[in-house]
Amino acid sequence: ADTPAMGTLRIRARAALGVDRRSGRIVGVATESDAAPAQLVREWTGEPVGDGDVETTDLGADQLLMPGLVDTHTHAPQFAFLGLGHDLPLMEWLETYTFRHESQFQDADLARTIYADAVRRMVRGGCTMAAYYGTIHLEACCILAETIRDAGQRAYVGKVCMDQNAPDYYSETTDESLQATEAFVHAVLGGQSAADDGVLVRPIITPRFAPTCSARCLHGLGRLARDHQLPIQSHLCESPAEVAFAKECFPDCVSYSAIYHAAGLFGPRTIMAHCVHMSDDDMRLVRECGVGVSHCPNSNFSLSSGVADVRRFVDQGIPVGLGTDVSGGYAPSLLDAMRMAAAASRTLVAARRDSAQPAAGSPLDAAELLFLATQGGARVMGMQASIGTLDEGKLFDALVVDFAAPGSPVPPPSVTPAVLRHQQADELEQAWRLRIEQFVFLADDRNIARVYVGGRLIHAL
């Protein structure tokens, strides 16, 4: 199962999918075919293949293959205080807990411990690609990149930049920030091309957010991104106090987005987290520049930031994916992000209906949520041609979901009421639709039996 477009759930029951072990790519998909595996591979590749050359796995009646989940926004150092500190709103939360904690990552041993645990949790939860923030420390960021590579996960990793409005125990000069970023880019790429989608771990330019970066820092980062063809990530319009502070820091800019835009940081390789409190000018710049939005509903609820309007982005053709934003968000899980995104969209629909506002729209459904967590996220990452669906030619980043796993929170199909079953002609396809809806709202790590990245098995229960 996969979601080639927003709202389109594609079920291919009785299907076979072939992966080339060398390239890690999908070489073909066959539906309703009784052909032997070697025969299918011969058709897909046009090469003479013997029965012994093909390794096959039969998923059986309770397992399903789906694309890996994409987390478009998370902070690796913040895994250390998951579930804690949500008594304060964003700006106070940053000053009181986050900066103090992140400053400790000058200690490489701490980084090793926390990052190993963080990446393991992400992979177990079915996340095959993530956009990570590290801290300002070059060494710890290199450790994060190495840890991810060792785990076999696909990722963008960013060295956080902050050269103003930061406490002196956790700050850097403009030159330090730019030089360390450039050093990090070279260290992670090691001569490989940032444009090569097969490179597992790649650097991403990461100004923390406009308030903590000087204009010279932002412009320098914009130049680095352009020179090395790199993606960019930051935070945008997360809370009302943060928006006001950003504008205060850059009084010449007409909107928060205009700050990033003026520095050359707004383009189709840019990921902006949150986008809750967007002015018309913010919407226009994001749309016109092809910026992708990372919707982080758990964080937006947990820090009382507000409720982002995903439907509005989608309707305007703005790419949207999901982010866990650990630990502004308390759950490092894209399943949780899908559920929180559902709650956020229903909250908006209900609030608008009750205040008789126009264009309440419809809440996000299971197929739309799964799209946001897979192909939507892939598009935000600039990877829509490489991952996100189970199409021929794409990298095989995928999950085997097991609905009969021990302790599975998803009930067996035999208990599904008849009124919900068999609504369409194809019974088998309809049964899978219901299970996928239950996957979105009920499943957990116990249902994620195997995780593949680039054709490589990186996790199995």
Residues lying near Fe ion in the complex (CB under 5 A) are found at 325
Tell me if 389 contacts ligand GUN by CB under 6 A. no
Tell me if 238 contacts ligand GUN by CB under 6 A. yes
**DSSP 3-state assignment of 455?**
coil
Give residue 190's Cα distance to chain centre.
Answer: 24
Number of shown-chain residues binding ligand GUN (CB under 6 A): 11
Distance from C-alpha of 75 to C-alpha of 88, rounded to nearest angstrom: 18
Residue 190 in tokens: 């090691």
Rounded to a whole number of angstroms, the minimum distance from the CB of residue 98 to ligand GUN is: 5
Tell me if 94 contacts ligand GUN by CB under 6 A. yes
Task: Identify which of 370, 433, 442, 459 has the alpha carbon closest to the alpha carbon of residue 407.
Answer: 442
User: What, of Fe ion, ligand GUN, none, does residue 98 touch, CB below 5 to 8 Å by kind?
Assistant: ligand GUN
Residue number, 135 or 386, with CB nearest to ligand GUN: 135
Binding mask 192-231 for ligand GUN (x = CB under 6 A): ----------------xx----------------------
User: What, of ligand GUN, Fe ion, none, does residue 174 touch, CB below 5 to 8 Å by kind?
Assistant: none
Residue 252 amino acid letter:
D
Q: Which residue number is nearest to Fe ion in terms of Cβ?
A: 325
Scan residues 100-159 and list those touching ligand GUN (CB under 6 A). none
Tell me if 259 contacts ligand GUN by CB under 6 A. no
Tell me if 72 contacts ligand GUN by CB under 6 A. no
Rounded to a whole number of angstroms, the minimum distance from the CB of residue 450 to Fe ion is: 29
Contact 148, 119 (CB under 8 A): yes
Residue number, 40 or 94, with CB nearest to ligand GUN: 94
Residue number, 63 or 233, with CB nearest to ligand GUN: 233
Cα-based distances in Å from 112 to 83, 97, 109, 160, 282: 21, 20, 5, 17, 38
Residue number, 309 or 325, with CB nearest to Fe ion: 325
Residue 120 in tokens: 């393991």
Q: Judged by CB under 6 A, which of 75, 261, 295, 394 binds ligand GUN?
A: 75
Distance from C-alpha of 211 to C-alpha of 245, rounded to nearest angstrom: 7
User: E-assigned strands of 84-239?
Assistant: 127-133, 154-158, 160-161, 201-203, 206-207, 232-236
Rounded to a whole number of angstroms, the minimum distance from the CB of residue 327 to ligand GUN is: 8
Distance from C-alpha of 51 to C-alpha of 121, rounded to nearest angstrom: 37
> Residue 227 contacts by C-beta under 8 Å, 6 or more apart in sequence?
none
* ∠ CA 386-222-77, rounded to 5°: 70
Q: Judged by CB under 6 A, which of 163, 282, 325, 402 binds ligand GUN?
A: 325
Distance from C-alpha of 45 to C-alpha of 39, rounded to nearest angstrom: 10
Residue number, 325 or 444, with CB nearest to Fe ion: 325
Q: How many residues does the chain have?
A: 461
- Contact residues toward ligand GUN (CB under 6 A) are 75, 90, 94, 98, 208-209, 235, 238, 299, 325, 328
